Structure 1
Amino acid sequence: MADLSTLGRRIRHFRTKAGLTLEELGDLTGTAPSQLSMVENGHREPRLSLLESLAAALKVSASDLLADEPPTPRAALEIELEKAQASPTYRELGLPVLRPTRSMSDATLGTIVGLHRELDRRARMSIATTEEARRANTAHRATMRARNNHLTEIELIAEQATKAVKHASGALTHRTVAEMAKRVGLSIVHTDDLPHSARAVVDREAGHIYIPPASIPGGHGLRSLALQAVANTVLEHHEPVDYADFLRQRLEASYFAAACLMPRAASVDFLERAKRDRNIAIEDFRDTFGVTHEAAALRFTNLATQYLGITLHYLRVDGTGAVVGAYENDGLPLPEDATGSTEGEVVCRYWSARQAFARTTRTSEHYQYTDTPAGTFFESTQTGTGATAEFSITLGVPYAESKWFRGRESQTRTVSTCPDARCCRRPEDGLKERWSGRGWASPRVRTHLFAPLPQGTYPGVDDRELYEFLEAHAQD
């Protein structure tokens, strides 16, 4: 059934169109005018028998009364105003409810509704502060840690999707991805005019997934983008209500894509064989399924604890040593700020994630053991260069688990006492006194520190560009 406000206004619209008063319609349906008034005002849900009587008296079908669309543009504004004034944001203001009268012009009503839209937009913006986003990200990481970074329900959905197209192992082809999209009513369209702030766009009305025409460096970029768009439909995602909801949806879409590119059964079988051979290597896992090193490392975190009994940690660090992404359930003492957030914090210079940058030859993985206050960890790091800067991808495990991994014979070993500032941040004795006031440096400023938190319905995506893009392509 349509929402009661819309239903009531549709009944009133057809009653007025038929030239009937409430009393006259009441006589035709055997209903008190006061009861009809409550139905028309959206305060009472009519029984099915009354709906059928109303439809017959108004000479329309019951489906005409139950349609989702408001009967007129004016009615649409009235319904929007009613819902806006029922929101917590408006109630907190302590202002009275404004009832639109017949004498109120459409222009006046439109202005009032416009003010409510802006009030809602600003309320959402105030929620999305940088601190709130960091707290949401920290809570999100804690939730995934408690679940061993494994989402059983999405694994099952991905299995159903890949089985439907008869894919079980190996590299998932672009053609198969297109078939998976088609099965949920979507078609892939390559275009070179995507909004600069968006990697992919979905037009639910037309059933199109818009992605770039050329392959994104990394081997699996376009397939992953298309599968994340499929996930948006399969997982019934809607516009996120806040930053935490945005993070949840982004994680679920990425997880679905990874679970399709690296199916659970085939991945676990491959990794169990590698464990039996004491030869687990992310590079082998990566090459078997034709994905990036980062994607393989992240997928390994989904499966390692759940199916192999291995606790671990994952780090993506940029060239300055700042954390871009992190996960751990093995006790590695990740750097944290006052909110418990790790992203943006700088890792110890003695960790593999930063030691790998110092190598002259970076074509192979860097293996090392790192002694920390929480114990010794074996780590494998692969470096790479992105669109704007270099980065490293690290997969690490406690010392006892190193026996399952390639590279365990490494003789490289470092000692880290972080978060103790004397480890690698505080100058050695005498150096500060020696050079205080005698030196100067021009800092390499990380501009993102000054950037506001990305705004938009989907944080970071320019709303105007997005909707103009959709409108332009709707004419194709």
Structure 2
Amino acid sequence: MAPPTSSVELATLGHRIRHQRLSAGMTLDELGARVGVAGSHLSLIENGKREPRLSLLQQIAEATGTDVTDLLSPEPPNRRAALEIELDAAQSSTVFRRLGLAPVRVTKGMTDETLETVLGLNRELQRREREAIATPEEARRANTELRLAMRRRNNYLPDIEALAEKQLRAAGHTTGALTHRTVSIMAEQLGFELIYVNDLPHSARSVTDIENGRIYLPPASIPGGHGLRSMALQAMAHRLLGHQPPTDYAEFLRQRLEINYYAACCLQPEHAAVAFLQQAKKERNLAVEDFRDAFGVTHEAAAMRMTNLLTEHLGIRLHFMRVSGSGAITRVYENDDLPLPADVTGSIEGQVACRRFLGRSAFEEQNRTTEHYQYTDTPAGTFWCSAQTGTTSDGEFSVTVGVPFDDARWFRGRETAKRVTSTCPDESCCRKPDSEALARWHGRAWPSARVHMQMFSPLPSGEFPGVDDSEVYAFLDRHAEQ
């Protein structure tokens, strides 16, 4: 049996050792004398504060008349131990720590009924946390934790990559851009029909009728139509990945990431995409726009897909940013240590990007149809990047992909002579007015700030945040009759 690794496993082990020691009628000092360690050392082990060596466990098992397998059992030795372990885990949770309260210290004289009451309060606290409306701060924390987790994995999910390749092969797709027809075949193989409707609920991007095997999508005539393939693939991904209704906002974000990842894997399959990128690297001609055109996706989708593949397969660390016309970072990934602004929760999304970054200055370029390039000297080193701007109904945005200086040699645009210096997060870089402007205008101007009402709006609750269930069910009733 494997040695304990988590705090819960250590706590369980400690309780089982204490149970066997007491059953054998020994004090800590008496057992310590038999196994050759101090009683205080055994106390730390019994309280889950120290992990014992396997050799010591074997000695303890022999001295107490049991075996190591029994000591390492994952089950608490009795009801009292189970209560203490659960309470310790509850009081170690983020939800409890945020209260700023000292944890309840369990003593021998504390009754089981008292423990049950305290545990009941912690269970209710956890339940309310799960059902509570997710505030913007909670959403940012959940998003930050997910981003950091993906950073540790190079933004790469091999199981979903393999699943996408399997589904594509089953549908007969081999090379080239994924067609709408192939996406329809993939849906049929899962038992679904793609139906394009004009009355899709405003709160939903798509609706899946599981009972009748239908996936409802927006009209097929929307401009470009590239997003429809992705929407259909995302709807299928929920079924393929076995998703259940999310229990909290973090789970909702994880599911959204996974379905987006699956869609990206289908639109730019790993095998073909890596081969394309490797050839471009060999030719020292890596470019987002070529990767985009080769698979018939958007510039942003191609740039984001690079974050999944460049580090894992080509050994290139990089960063990706989507910046709005106002300068706010709306989507981000980095594993190359580019200095980025962050709030106290660690969230980068919503922060304003440095004015020196190409993701900001690209809005000033005359030609918006091509990529622009720049080297940026920062406190963390020099980075090269490419950026292109675009426009949606929500306004302007830019998409940037960049790498550390040494890796610029693999990319088109490395010859650019444009080079700037950014010292952000130092306010003197671009956030603090120069001394002359400050002296001239401080106290002599009064701007009226634009207030974004979403700042005051909590994220909606429910199993599927933001979705109006009554609207969705009315929609399904209408179409079930057709």
Q: Which bin holds the TM-score, normalised by the shorter protein? A: 0.7 to 0.9
- Paired position in structure 2 for 1:92: 121
In 2, the alpha carbon distance for the partners of 1:445 and 1:367 equals: 34
CA contact (8 A) 2:132 2:461 kept: no
- Paired position in structure 2 for 1:319: 325
Which sits farther off after the overlay, 178-187 or 435-444?
435-444
In 1, the alpha carbon distance for the partners of 2:182 and 2:192 equals: 13
Alignment equivalent of 1:450, drawn from 448, 456, 460 = 456
Name the SS of the counterpart of 2:262 in structure 1: helix
- Paired position in structure 1 for 2:25: none
In 2, the alpha carbon distance for the partners of 1:339 and 1:263 equals: 35
In 1, the alpha carbon distance for the partners of 2:128 and 2:243 equals: 23
| Residues matched between the structures, number | 366
Superposition pairs for residues 294-333 of structure 1, below 5 Å? 294-333=300-339
- Paired position in structure 1 for 2:355: 349
Alignment equivalent of 1:237, drawn from 219, 243, 246 = 243
- The reply to whether residue 205 of structure 1 matches residue 234 of structure 2 is no
Q: Deviations over 1:45-71 (max 9, x none)?
A: xxxxxxxxxxxxxxxxxxxxxxxxxxx
Q: Deviation of residue 446 (structure 1)?
A: 3.4
List gaps (5 residues or longer) in structure 1. 1-87, 96-118
Superposition pairs for residues 215-226 of structure 1, below 5 Å? 215-217=221-223, 219-226=225-232
Superposition pairs for residues 33-432 of structure 1, below 5 Å? 91-92=120-121, 124-126=130-132, 128-217=134-223, 219-432=225-438
Q: Deviation of residue 154 (structure 1)?
A: 0.3
Name the SS of the counterpart of 2:330 in structure 1: strand
Superposition RMSD on alpha carbons, in Å?
2.2
CA contact (8 A) 1:317 1:392 kept: yes
Name the SS of the counterpart of 1:240 in structure 2: coil
In 2, the alpha carbon distance for the partners of 1:328 and 1:390 equals: 22
CA contact (8 A) 1:218 1:291 kept: no
In 2, the alpha carbon distance for the partners of 1:369 and 1:219 equals: 35
- The reply to whether residue 471 of structure 1 matches residue 445 of structure 2 is no
Q: Deviations over 1:349-406 (max 9, x none)?
A: 0001101011122111111111111111111111000112111110000010000001
In 1, the alpha carbon distance for the partners of 2:397 and 2:118 equals: 42
Task: Report the TM-score when normalising by structure 2.
Answer: 0.73
Q: Residue type of the partner of 1:92?
A: L
> Do the aligned partners of residues 320 and 185 (structure 1) sit closer, same or farther apart at CA in structure 2, a change above 3 Å counting?
same
- Paired position in structure 1 for 2:92: none
Q: Residue type of the partner of 2:464?
A: Y
Q: Deviations over 1:213-251 (max 9, x none)?
A: 134445520000000011011111111110111111111
Name the SS of the counterpart of 2:132 in structure 1: helix
Q: Deviation of residue 94 (structure 1)?
A: 9.6
Q: Residue type of the partner of 2:426?
A: D
| Fraction of identical pairs, as percent | 58
In 2, the alpha carbon distance for the partners of 1:241 and 1:193 equals: 29
CA contact (8 A) 1:315 1:353 kept: yes
Q: Residue type of the partner of 1:408?
A: R
Q: Residue type of the partner of 1:159?
A: E
Q: Deviation of residue 126 (structure 1)?
A: 1.9
Q: Deviation of residue 170 (structure 1)?
A: 1.1
CA contact (8 A) 2:383 2:404 kept: yes
CA contact (8 A) 1:352 1:381 kept: yes
- The reply to whether residue 440 of structure 1 matches residue 434 of structure 2 is no
CA contact (8 A) 2:201 2:472 kept: yes
Name the SS of the counterpart of 1:194 in structure 2: coil
In 1, the alpha carbon distance for the partners of 2:223 and 2:291 equals: 19
Name the SS of the counterpart of 2:230 in structure 1: helix
CA contact (8 A) 1:456 1:463 kept: no
Name the SS of the counterpart of 1:442 in structure 2: coil
Q: Deviation of residue 468 (structure 1)?
A: 2.1
List gaps (5 residues or longer) in structure 2. 1-116
- The reply to whether residue 459 of structure 1 matches residue 465 of structure 2 is yes
